[in-house]
């Protein structure tokens, strides 16, 4: 479990293993699926038997990825095997516990999350990497496998999704350098981007419509709020999860520092998403109501009606904006 | 006017010039402003006197660019000067004609548009570059000026805007390699992206709301239409130009091949924007109504009411989808 020597040892384990079972996390995204498929395809090029596992089905917008149809929701044999976990901070992310894994199995853990729990026998965690895709590129390089177009398509998808098209602050010069090498493999950017970004369920667009119809501007333009009632979800046919990201439409309005999306998850059960742009610490706002998160993105839950919850949030944020302005 | 020798000669002219007047095009974007400022700041580092001209004010979302406050709307002296045009296909893009420029001036033309008219005494047009920003990086390299953080911020903005965050098909491996070098200069991605992308006028969000309220799905989910009436523009307080890009919300719905935005620019004056995703040639649709454009993005105008125009477009597109499906 020595971190610093794990990379070379992990390569050694993979070289020797006749077969490798690969795992990625629940609610899969482009990084975990793309990185897992890329590593698996590289191992197959080395003549190894490979299986791919995810607790959930591959999302529709990632179904185009080469190899995605091979991702299974049935657990593989966990006894006397080489098990490789990709993009998972801990085993819970795969709905597993250590007790379920045979003591004779070898656990490899490849990730980029700073909160990774180093649960593997060999752990390769690079918190400076924008995506596990970056770590996967390094791994494939160490294994001496040439990245082909299909592997590059998976790796590019891993990076472009986890960096929000190279916009998030996890994007580094190295991210762009690695991406350049993937483009050298002749991947089709138009097809990739269309598949990833242009597969929005109609219900999500209808939910955006509802959210915009409830848009309010407060605090002299610095605060934008949106609400989604149970009725809005019913009308649009959208599940609660489809509201993710909608708050950014409010955040992107000129002059807005804080954006809030309040959604009714049940009766007297309001989920609040908070985003700020430049200076307001929304983690502190969320903490006032028993929630938390980061300085620029946080959340909390309130046992109130939608309108009561909105009013309480507006008051708290107006106060925080007022205090901030006077400092 | 020999293309192939122009690069070295352009560098030579710039080295010798004591002062350079820089020009960028009407309706300025991140590429023309960012590239112009970057080149000008590099020339100043060489001790030259520099002026920046644009016929229009710098847009609000680019006001953060280092040097942007120095961009003037008053024409500089056009006599016996070195004049450098950045990102301009021809002089009309700067509201100028050749007659207005003294015969003793030297015209330099740096661009990346394939339609560039080679109007300069020295022309450097690289149609493989994703942005004039890429050409500007090469120019600054030839001039031997080190790119500092402010220059890098301008160049990054040029590239990120003209490639749509590295999503458009003009993005190459070289684009990412050059971008990596700009990130090495310590530019602040969070601030840059916030300024460029999160400055949407409230009126534009309200216009999106109106467009979504009129969203219709036809042709078994393959066609999405949105309409904006004169009343919608009045209610939202938005100018017609703010409707640009809204059609992409309809295009991004899963299963949609064609998206149409019809907007009422005046009584019986309907402007139509057409976008397709994978195969339908919308240029042919637009051509049926006297319009045109490209295979995946085209437009036309119709002297009809909004509802009449919509019905005619739906019929034409349903027919084209039907024919396409049967081939």
Question: All domains of chain B, ordered by start, with CATH?
Answer: 6-197 (3.90.1640.10), 204-325 (3.10.310.30)
Of the candidates B189, B199, B253, which has its C-beta nearest A202's C-beta? Answer: B253
Farthest-apart Cα atoms in chain B, separation: 66
User: Are A252 and B198 an interchain contact pair (Cβ–Cβ within 8 Å)?
Assistant: yes
Chain B residue with Cα closest to A206:
B212
Chain B residue with Cα closest to A197:
B252
Distance CA B159, CA B134 (A): 7
Please state the pTM of the whole predicted model.
0.91
Query: Which of A209, A216, A250, A256 to mutate against chain B (most B CBs within 10 Å)?
Result: A209
Query: Which of A208, A152, A179, A250 lies closest to B252 in space, CA to CA?
Result: A208
The number of beta carbons lying within 10 Å of the beta carbon of residue B238 is 21
Kindly state whether A166 is in contact with chain B, defined as any CB-CB distance less than 8 angstroms.
Answer: yes
Distance CA A137, CA A155 (A): 7
Distance from CA of A100 to the nearest CA of B (A): 39
Question: Mean pLDDT per segment of 10 residues, for chain B of length 327 residues?
Answer: 69 97 96 98 98 96 97 91 96 94 92 94 95 98 98 98 93 98 97 94 96 97 98 96 94 96 97 95 96 91 97 98 82
**Residue A297 parent element (H or E):** strand A297-302
Query: Which of B207, B242, B321, B228 lies closest to B272 in space, CA to CA?
Result: B228
> pLDDT tens digits for chain A (327 residues)?
445 457 999 999 999 999 999 999 999 999 999 999 999 999 999 999 999 999 999 999 999 999 999 999 999 988 879 999 999 999 999 999 999 998 899 999 999 999 999 999 999 999 999 999 999 999 999 999 999 999 999 999 999 999 999 998 899 999 999 999 999 999 999 999 999 999 999 999 999 999 999 999 999 999 999 999 999 999 999 999 999 999 999 999 999 999 999 999 999 999 999 999 989 999 999 999 999 988 999 999 999 999 999 999 999 999 999 988 776
- Buried/exposed code over A107-122 (b: 16+ C-beta within 10 A; e: otherwise): bbbbbbbeebbebbbb
Beta-carbon contacts of residue B5 (< 8 Å; ≥ 6 apart): none
Beta-carbon contacts of residue B213 (< 8 Å; ≥ 6 apart): A209, A213
pLDDT of residue B148: 98
Kindly state whether A69 is in contact with chain B, defined as any CB-CB distance less than 8 angstroms.
Answer: no
Count A/B contacts: CB-CB distance under 8 Å.
Answer: 121
Distance from CA of A168 to the nearest CA of B (A): 7
Kindly state whether B235 is in contact with chain A, defined as any CB-CB distance less than 8 angstroms.
Answer: no
A-chain CB neighbours of B278 within 8 Å are 194
Distance CA A259, CA A304 (A): 20
pLDDT of residue A5: 56
Contact A259, A250 (CB under 8 A): yes
Contact A73, A57 (CB under 8 A): yes
Q: Which tokens belong to B25?
A: 């095009």
Beta-carbon contacts of residue A99 (< 8 Å; ≥ 6 apart): none
pLDDT of residue A70: 98
A-chain CB neighbours of B166 within 8 Å are 160, 165-166, 179
Q: Which tokens belong to A253?
A: 């309005």
Crossing angle, helix B189-197 and helix B149-162, to 10 degrees? 40
Of the candidates A177, A200, A254, which has its C-beta nearest B254's C-beta? Answer: A200
- Buried/exposed code over B242-253 (b: 16+ C-beta within 10 A; e: otherwise): bbeebbebbbbb
Distance from CA of B92 to the nearest CA of A (A): 32
DSSP of B186-231, one letter per residue? T--HHHHHHHHHS-B-HHHHHHHHHHHHT-EEEGGGTEEEEEE-HH
Kindly state whether B213 is in contact with chain A, defined as any CB-CB distance less than 8 angstroms.
Answer: yes
pLDDT of residue B5: 57
């Amino acid at each position: 479990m020595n971190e610093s020597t794990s990379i070379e040892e992990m390569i050694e384990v993979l070289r020797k293993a006749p077969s490798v079972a690969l795992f990625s996390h629940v609610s899969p995204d482009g990084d975990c699926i793309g990185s897992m498929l890329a590593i698996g395809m590289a191992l197959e090029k080395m003549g190894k038997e490979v299986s791919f596992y995810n607790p959930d089905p591959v999302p529709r917008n990632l179904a185009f990825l080469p190899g995605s149809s091979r991702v299974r929701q049935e657990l593989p044999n966990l006894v006397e095997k080489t098990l490789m976990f990709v993009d998972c901070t801990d085993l819970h992310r795969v709905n597993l516990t250590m007790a379920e894994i045979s003591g004779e199995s070898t656990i490899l853990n490849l990730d980029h999350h700073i909160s990774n729990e180093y649960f593997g026998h060999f752990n390769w965690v690079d918190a400076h990497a924008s995506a596990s895709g970056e770590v996967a590129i390094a791994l494939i390089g160490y294994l001496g496998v040439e990245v082909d177009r299909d592997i590059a398509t998976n790796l590019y998808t891993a990076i472009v999704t986890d960096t929000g098209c190279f916009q998030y602050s996890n994007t580094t010069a190295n991210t762009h350098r690695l991406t350049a090498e993937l483009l050298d493999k002749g991947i089709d950017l138009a097809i990739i981007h269309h598949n990833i970004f242009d597969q929005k369920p109609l219900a999500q667009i209808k939910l955006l419509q509802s959210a915009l119809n409830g848009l309010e501007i407060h605090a002299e333009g610095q605060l934008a709020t949106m609400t989604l009632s149970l009725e809005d979800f019913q009308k649009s046919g959208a599940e609660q999860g489809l509201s993710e990201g909608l708050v950014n439409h409010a955040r992107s309005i000129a002059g807005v520092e804080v954006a809030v999306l309040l959604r009714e998850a049940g009766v007297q059960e309001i989920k609040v998403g908070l985003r700020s742009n430049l200076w307001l610490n929304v983690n502190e706002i969320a903490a006032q109501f028993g929630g938390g998160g980061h300085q620029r993105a946080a959340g909390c839950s309130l046992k109130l009606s939608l309108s009561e919850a909105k009013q309480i949030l507006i008051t708290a944020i107006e106060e925080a904006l007022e205090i901030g302005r006077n400092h």
